[in-house]
Amino acid sequence: MTASLFWSSPVSDNSLDVAAPPADLEIIVNDARDGQKAQLRLWLRMLSITKIISHEIRRRLRNEFQATLPQFDLMAQLYREREGLRLGELSRRTMVTNGNVTGLADRLESDGLIVRQSADGDRRVTVAKLTRHGRETFARMARAHEAWLRELMSEVDDKTLAQIFGATGRVKRSVSSRLIKSED
Amino acid sequence: MTASLFWSSPVSDNSLDVAAPPADLEIIVNDARDGQKAQLRLWLRMLSITKIISHEIRRRLRNEFQATLPQFDLMAQLYREREGLRLGELSRRTMVTNGNVTGLADRLESDGLIVRQSADGDRRVTVAKLTRHGRETFARMARAHEAWLRELMSEVDDKTLAQIFGATGRVKRSVSSRLIKSED
DNA sequence: CGATATTACTTTAGAGTTAAAAGATTGCGA
DNA sequence: TCGCAATCTTTTAACTCTAAAGTAATATCG
């Protein structure tokens, strides 16, 4: 096998060597033709950052609001749709499978944060919407959530943030178009 | 409240915010200072990209190798450590909790991909290492995995990839340092 | 020496995850 | 109108995930 790809020892972040803790799964490739692996390297970096931040957000949501991240995501979608959304649409928007939405909705409903309604004339459809309590709770969570992110990224200047945002847009488009094509 | 949390619809591209959510003015009223949300926006974008790619990698690993992503990650760590790793170290490196590593190792072991050994003189310790079959299997998976990423990001030029890689390094350092500090 | 930490792993309980199958309901073409 | 396809949600099975408690084995200190 040519590609000898070796996962780097987590702690040794090629950037900065901060203490030790919860190691990081950033992978590095030690290969002569390093240029060939830019995609892999970038992917591992994004994965690593996302895991670290998710972990932290998850922890804080749990500690401060007794909520989980998927629940927060689901509520976020409902927050901007006063009329509520059908479960299937919710599934699409949150990128969570149908079956999963059922369970999430069950828990949120039993906590009094959302309600299920069989609206429309179509009895197959179920619409979920935030209760008053749900809206208030979410509003508080969203404020905290936003502040956490600002805090976590506080050492990065706005210009860099904007730059990454723009460039990652290209990555997103590339990935998305590949997925769509392969569906043919 | 400053709520303004206009969650972009996840799956759809959040750069071009097409959908026009009517909703109450109250909700939208807030902040004219959109610039304050660069962190939130970037976070949502990274989360979105990561979800899409993970989803696809997971799907392909399942279809072509009957393996899961966490299993792949665990094997990746063992691949470069011929001598094997103790479960605790594996947990640290993969950012997976101890209990979870136990289950993952159970499954990999029963599939004949790894073996557990009670090495050392310390009988509390268990070392996991890839079997011959495990090494061969992982080598094939790793090659495919790398190719998939190259394919998915193929529309992005190397310069952009390198640029993002570099800039996200700063994000990672910022986030990491905040976490360590808060541990005090 | 022996009680008490500490360390390493496993177990448990509650959530989330996916894919696939099962249940309802509705729509549509012959 | 009847039957079958399409749509929407729930169920199921296997896996992953976290936090917290449990079980060994080893270390430490009085």
Measuring CA to CA, which residue among A135, A157, A7, A17 is closest to residue A78?
A135
Task: State the DSSP code for A58.
Answer: H
Amino acid identity, position B157? D
Q: Which of A36, A41, A148, A149 to mutate to test the interface with B (most CBs of B within 10 A)?
A: A149
Which of the pair, A39 or B30, is modelled with greater confidence?
Answer: A39
Which of the pair, A73 or A28, is modelled with greater confidence?
Answer: A73
For A67-154, the fitting CATH number among 2.40.37.10, 1.10.10.10, 3.40.50.2300, 1.10.3720.10 is 1.10.10.10
The C-alpha atoms of residue A115 and residue A92 are separated, in whole angstroms, by: 19
* Mean per-residue pLDDT, B149-158: 94
**Residue A103, helix vs strand vs coil:** helix
* Mean per-residue pLDDT, A14-19: 28
What stretch(es) of chain B map to CATH 1.10.10.10? 68-154
Strand partners, B116: B128
CATH number of B68-154: 1.10.10.10
What was the pLDDT predicted at A137? 95
Q: Do A172 and B37 touch (CB under 8 A)?
A: no
Radius of gyration (C-alpha) of chain A in whole angstroms: 21
pLDDT-derived band at A180, boundaries 50, 70, 90: low
Protein chain A, residues 85-114, with a C-beta closer than 7 Å to any atom of nucleic acid strand D: 86-89, 91, 98-99, 101-103, 105
What was the pLDDT predicted at A118? 86
The string of pLDDT tens digits covering residues B166-184 is 999 999 999 998 886 554 4
The string of pLDDT tens digits covering residues A113-139 is 999 998 777 888 999 999 999 999 999
Q: Which residues of B touch A92 (CB under 8 A)?
A: 11
- Residue A157 distance to chain B (closest CA, Å): 9
Strand partners, B85: B128
Assess whether B96 (CB) lies less than 7 A from strand D.
yes
Assess whether A116 (CB) lies less than 7 A from strand D.
yes
